[in-house]
């Protein structure tokens, strides 16, 4: 059991060396994109919810 755990972590370490990690500039740019799109989606959903709420109030 111990040997299997040891082998697992050795394989994880080997595979992690193959990973292409982003640079800080790429990471920062991706973060800005995610935050901007999340904010846009939140505003869009707020507007849709507001309109549907008003529509339901008028109909009922």
| Res. 60 pLDDT band, cuts 50 70 90 | confident
Q: Which domain holds residue 32?
A: 21-60
DSSP 8-state secondary structure symbol assigned to residue 60: -
Domain assignment present for 31: yes
- Is 0.75 topped by the overall pTM? no
Instruction: Provide the number of structural domains found in the chain.
Output: 1
CB contact at 8 A, 22 and 30: yes
Domain assignment present for 3: no
Domain assignment present for 58: yes
Mean pLDDT of 32-51: 98
């Amino acid at each position: 059991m111990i040997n299997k755990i040891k082998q697992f972590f050795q394989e994880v370490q080997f595979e992690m060396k193959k990973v292409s990690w982003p640079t800080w500039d790429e990471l920062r740019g991706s973060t800005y994109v995610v935050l901007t799109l999340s904010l846009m989606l939140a505003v869009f959903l707020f507007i849709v919810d507001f309109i549907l709420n008003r529509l339901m109030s008028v109909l009922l």
